[in-house]
Chain A
């Protein structure tokens, strides 16, 4: 079993008010990891801190190291009623490996299958790599672990629909706008009224590079304030119909008790007919736009129920793919654990071959000393024979050792081989091949670290 451990808090164990007290900025994470190495002697570690989780991955995860990690978290979170242990979770061995793989795939995210976590996991690894200590915190086991996790996440995203379909009203709005207009570049957006969801929608549209934003409200002062906040322009409510004619996306979200945009008024504002597409997102209850407006040429009207239904359908499709995703997680986690176990075998195999190579050499020297009369060709033939014999004798035991290690019986096999062949304990050896990367998703040098504040796992 892998001695890897993880300890942390997430949206599953702590509300946002608690989670934010555990959050580390990049600088704080580097300092914390440095201190853990200096004071507690941790070997390999990665600190993952996003809006929805803070986790410390440790290798090896001894009790001493885990206690040090908990102290670090306690120091960061400060005084908490009831202590921090009620919020912390901990996984060891294969459970910790599977946990990371599930996290990287978005299976443990607040929004199932969300994609940002992949970049955040990568960023956390790069952050550990940037801590200037020797040996590095992103050592061979952590390196392999995170590479495998990212590869698993990449495969899950490409082979299952876990990340398909928008999973929030804001992202549905953006997807609809993209499917109508293609690029949002140069498109005019109008926000009617104000509301958190409307602001989120407009924020998401703005990230796609809209051309301009107009804010209208019955209260011009409120419109002006919101326009200033969203870098748009405010228009008086009675000028709204004129602005509507120039609008490509309308986000309506007022608290008006009756529709503000009626069919007749709309037709009047459009001068008879709409020449280009208009996407209307009516997020208000009661609705701000008469349903009949949706029947006009080139108008695509979605009310809050339509949008919610789309989100629900998409989430349902994502949930249906969880079992396929979990199977991929298991496949990659098992491969990592086999690699980890086989890693302990490498020094034993080297030791075994070294021991019998010494025996072969000394016996060969003795034999050749007695057969000095043989011509050089024959002496070479004898030497080649001895090498072939040794290789054939050791081939099967070596293969069985690797196989046994791959089946989780590394410790048992190592003990048996050491005993039977009278081998010395060489201790763990970090073979160069430990650094080799599993398929896909290799971490690239110079990639920008993810700031936790910009993330949404």
Chain B
């Protein structure tokens, strides 16, 4: 209850702050790195509340809360102003595209946190000790359910986001710029989602494989994102 109240209070404050941003600048906080990261942090916060609704899921907060704090800290340090660049893709379809993509990334973040805790609990059970980590970490089945729900939700929304982006591109630009780092990054996220879902469709240690894929996938997309940002200065704007 305390965890739920604190997380809810944090999300409400965040929503109020971003609503003020929207009122001040006349646009949703989807353009510019600072506002985008802040919105992503908000969506991960909402994901945390959703996991708390699934009983022992509140413990994933131990991984998700630092992720949210880092994202918000980076967002604030970069400045919460809209991008000075004018985007071609704008309006309601753009807002829907970004919202769906962020919900997808939020899903991957929840799967990452749950996957890490799953592997920790599995390790504790195999170690045959009942230490503090064993007692703190939720049951395997709870964590596996969280991984599964987060991956399915994230994959679905991210796929829809990609579809919207693709539709817009082929409608207005006729072709997809495959060297655009944004496109490459999005495809990589989609592949990571697919791998995490495909490995849990098999038999044997499917839960562990899925947890490993989720636990690795999220850091990989963060690292790749940072790398692409460094090399993308030559290509102009990238998120």
Contact = CB atoms under 8 A, between A and B. Distances in A.
Interface stretch (A116-124, A173-181, A421-429): A173-181
A309 B55 CA distance: 30
Interface stretch (A36-44, A80-88, A294-302, A437-445): A294-302
Given A182-B139, A310-B130, A298 B205 contact: yes
B177 interface: no
Contact of A310 (B126, B129, B138): B129
Contact of A297 (B135, B139, B204): B204
B140 interface: yes
B130 A165 contact: yes
A252 to B, nearest CB: 17
A313 B130 contact: yes
Contacts of B55: 182
Contacts of B125: 176, 179-180, 300
Nearest to A178: B139
Interface residues of A, number: 25
Nearest to B128: A306
Contacts of B135: 164-165
B205 A302 contact: no
A397 to B, nearest CB: 47
Contact of B141 (A277, A313, A314): A277
Contacts of A175: 130
Interface in A157-182: 164-166, 172, 175-176, 178-182
Contacts of A298: 204-205, 207
Contact of A182 (B124, B126, B142, B207): B142
B128 A310 contact: yes
Query: Max chain A CB contacts within 10 Å: which of B124, B135, B141?
Result: B141
Nearest to A181: B141
A179 B121 contact: yes
B94 interface: no
A313 B127 CA distance: 13
Contacts of A3: none
A360 to B, nearest CB: 54
Q: Which of B128, B139, B204 has the largest number of chain A CB atoms within 10 A? A: B128
A275 interface: yes
A232 B203 CA distance: 31
Contact of A180 (B56, B129, B139, B204): B139
Given A165-B130, A310-B129, A181 B204 contact: no
A396 B180 CA distance: 84
B128 A302 contact: yes
A390 B228 CA distance: 83
Interface string A263-279: 00000000011110100
A313 B204 contact: no
Given A180-B125, A297-B204, A298-B205, A172 B130 contact: yes
A182 B141 contact: yes
Contacts of B207: 298
A175 B121 CA distance: 13
Contacts of A309: 128
Interface string A100-126: 000000000000000000000000000
A172 B128 CA distance: 11
Nearest to B143: A182
B4 interface: no
Contacts of B126: 300
A314 B141 CA distance: 24
B125 to A, nearest CB: 6
A228 B121 CA distance: 36
A273 B209 CA distance: 15
B134 interface: yes
A181 B145 CA distance: 11
Contacts of B134: 179
A275 B203 CA distance: 6
Contacts of B205: 297-298
Contacts of B121: 179
Nearest to B142: A182
Interface string B90-124: 00000000000000000000000000000001001
A166 B124 CA distance: 15
Nearest to B131: A313
Contacts of B204: 273-274, 297-298
Contact of A313 (B129, B139, B203): B129
A180 B141 CA distance: 6
Contacts of A314: 130
Contacts of A166: 130
Contacts of B130: 165-166, 172, 175, 310, 313-314
Contacts of B129: 310, 313
B118 to A, nearest CB: 12
Which of A164, A165, A179, A180 has the most CB atoms of chain B within a 10 A radius of its CB? Answer: A179
13 contacts: A176-B125, A179-B121, A179-B125, A180-B140, A180-B141, A182-B56, A182-B140, A300-B126, A302-B128, A306-B128, A310-B130, A313-B129, A313-B130
Given A175-B130, A277-B140, 17 more contacts: A172-B130, A179-B139, A180-B125, A180-B140, A181-B140, A182-B55, A182-B138, A182-B139, A182-B142, A273-B203, A297-B203, A297-B205, A300-B126, A306-B128, A309-B128, A313-B130, A314-B130
Interface of A: 164-166, 172, 175-176, 178-182, 272-275, 277, 297-298, 300, 302, 306, 309-310, 313-314
- The 5 A-B pairs at the shortest CB distance, nearest first, are namely A182-B139, A297-B204, A182-B141, A297-B205, A306-B128
